[in-house]
Amino acid sequence: MTTAEFKPRPRLPEWLRIKLPTADTFSRTRSLLDELKLHTVCESAKCPNHWECWSKGTATFMIAGDRCTRACQFCAVSTAKPLPLEADEPMRVAEATRRMGLKHVVITAVARDDMADGGADHFRQTIEAVRKLSPGIVIEVLTPDFLDKEEPIDAVLSANPHIFNHNLETVRRLTPSVRHRATYDRSLSVLKKVKAKRGDSIYTKSGMMLGLGEREDEVLEAMRDLREAKCDILTLGQYLQPTLKHLAVEAFVTPDQFAAYGEQARAMGFVHVASGPMVRSSYHADEFTLPSGPGR
Ligand code: SF4
């Protein structure tokens, strides 16, 4: 356990205060997810945009259970021995996607290091089920690193997601203290592999949390490393401590600094960049429209 748990949480700056919603879309989203017994990373990771996204009728599905085999110091998803996969979960995700009328779906999963394929085939089945019930939908997957193995990556790619997202999460120096089992180079390698296998027929995407103690030169180095891995899309957002047991926030990065990073990222060649305090991997993911339609 880190010493982080003894630090009092600092007061949030104005730009991070959440405005509560009034729309009843939030409760409709809640009921639908309850009815179909689905997990979302919105809830499991205590995402600060939970109210906003659900009020707009969007959510990020988290498949393969809600127990993760890893224990990253920034993440609120529970670490525990996972339960067996539920064979009907892909269909339930597909049904929720259809009923929510999503045009762009984001599907993520806990890390299943207990399984030989890391849960990759479950991703494949979910993508296929979603496409069956919602033809024409843009499908984005946010995957674990699958230990950088070829077969699981191939399994996910075989279902032809439009966007393959795998987060770098933080800069090289901080990776060992922020992530559990994952390495900086392995994450870059996963992104490189996807591009090497699929080229321009897929968009790759990655994201980092800022405010963990990283320096500006380290952020720029990570952005360059991602471009070197031919990563197309970048998200940068403020890290917020989900509970007192998690890593403390070291700095609140100002909106101006986020904007400056965004400009630098665009200058490096990322085709789409979302950089701001409330940005998360899946926040406003549908704002990125595929330039030449799905399956370019
Ligand atoms: S930003 Fe992503 S994880 Fe957070 S509430 Fe929105 S859809 Fe869910």
CA 50 to ligand 1: nearest atom: 5
Of 1-15, 25-39, 54-68, 187-201, the one with minimum mean pLDDT is: 1-15
Model pLDDT, residue 50? 86
> What's the gap in Å between 284 CA and the centre of ligand 1?
8
Confidence band of 291 (pLDDT split at 50, 70, 90)? low
Tokens representing residue 188 in the block:
């870059």
Model pLDDT, residue 292? 56
Instruction: Report how far residue 241's alpha carbon sits from residue 258's, in angstroms, rounded to the nearest whole number.
Output: 19
Confidence band of 253 (pLDDT split at 50, 70, 90)? very high
Residue 293 has pLDDT above 60, yes or no: no
Nearest to 235 by CA among 270, 269, 260, 202: 270
List, in order, residues 6 or more apart from 237 with CB less than 8 Å away: 207, 208, 209, 210, 274, 275, 276, 277, 278, 279, 280, 283
Distances (CA, A) of 237 to 37, 42, 226: 29, 15, 16
Residue 121 has pLDDT above 90, yes or no: yes
List, in order, residues 6 or more apart from 23 with CB less than 8 Å away: 55, 56
Ligand 1: which residue has its CA nearest to atom 8? 42
Model pLDDT, residue 1? 46
> What's the gap in Å between 48 CA and the centre of ligand 1?
8
CA 282 to ligand 1: nearest atom: 2
- 3-class secondary-structure state, position 255: helix
Residue 268 has pLDDT above 60, yes or no: yes
Instruction: Report how far residue 123's alpha carbon sits from residue 197's, in angstroms, rounded to the nearest whole number.
Output: 18
Q: Which residues approach ligand 1 with their CB closer than 6 A? A: 41-42, 47, 49-50, 53, 58-60, 280, 282-283
Model pLDDT, residue 165? 97
Confidence band of 22 (pLDDT split at 50, 70, 90)? low
Instruction: Report how far residue 250's alpha carbon sits from residue 247's, in angstroms, rounded to the nearest whole number.
Output: 9
Return mean pLDDT, the chain. Answer: 91
Distances (CA, A) of 284 to 57, 150, 195, 233: 12, 30, 23, 13
- Region 87-109 average pLDDT: 95
Q: Which residue from 20, 44, 60 has its CB within 8 A of the most atoms of ligand 1, so it is best to mutate? A: 60
Q: Which residue from 16, 39, 41 has its CB within 8 A of the most atoms of ligand 1, so it is best to mutate? A: 41
User: Do residues 106 and 140 touch, judged by C-beta distance below 8 A?
Assistant: yes
Residue 2 has pLDDT above 80, yes or no: no
pTM of the entire predicted model: 0.91
Model pLDDT, residue 295? 42
Q: Which residue from 25, 29, 33, 42 has its CB within 8 A of the most atoms of ligand 1, so it is best to mutate? A: 42
Phi, psi of 25 (to 5 degrees): -60, -35
Confidence band of 18 (pLDDT split at 50, 70, 90)? low
Model pLDDT, residue 11? 81
Within 183-277, residue ranges assigned H as helices are 184-198, 216-228, 255-268
Ligand 1: which residue has its CA nearest to atom 7? 59
